[in-house]
Structure 1
Amino acid sequence: MKSDSFRSMSTDDLWALHEQVAAELTQRIVTEKATLEDRLRKLQAPGQAAKSDRSRRPYPKVLPKYRNPKNPGETWSGRGKQPRWLAKRLGAGSKLDDFLISRPGRKRR
């Protein structure tokens, strides 16, 4: 249809056309969605759970590698962002090796 034919239509005719188009679009969307969900089910391997059902694998506990000499309760494993106490001491001129926790059977570098 050309836009001139829309201009010649009455408001009631245009509304009826709008309802027909909306109904047809709704039907096509529902059909397409069902087709896509069916394809998705076929792609998933039998017995395979969806990603959201899986839990993360357990990570081993990481032992602390560095200790604050002023407060022995403050430790750091060497992973992630440096704690404030360590960054402050390193900024004051200390070396990272000064805070290493000595373990039996492990040589300190």
Structure 2
Amino acid sequence: MGASEWQGEPIGISELDELISEAQDLRERLVEKRPAELMAELEALGVSPPSLKRIRPPPRYKNGQGKTWTGGGKRPKWLSDHEAASGSRSDFLIK
């Protein structure tokens, strides 16, 4: 319901602040317990919970000092410097 549809009694700022605070507290409690509920549901179905750990992609580029880059995210300085000197990214491609 939008503010233009409100038909009830007007409320003061302090009451509004209290309602917002209560809503935020309720949301935090729900967000905290939901992952555990989902894991319990998976276990009840006989499904092993998936790993929540992020899987990193393998590196695609490697320089002479052993520093690597996956090709995602910000380009490392060693590669930017090489390209700025008219070098090719493929010079460091891991084969």
TM-score (norm 2): 0.49
Mark the structure with the bigger radius of gyration.
1
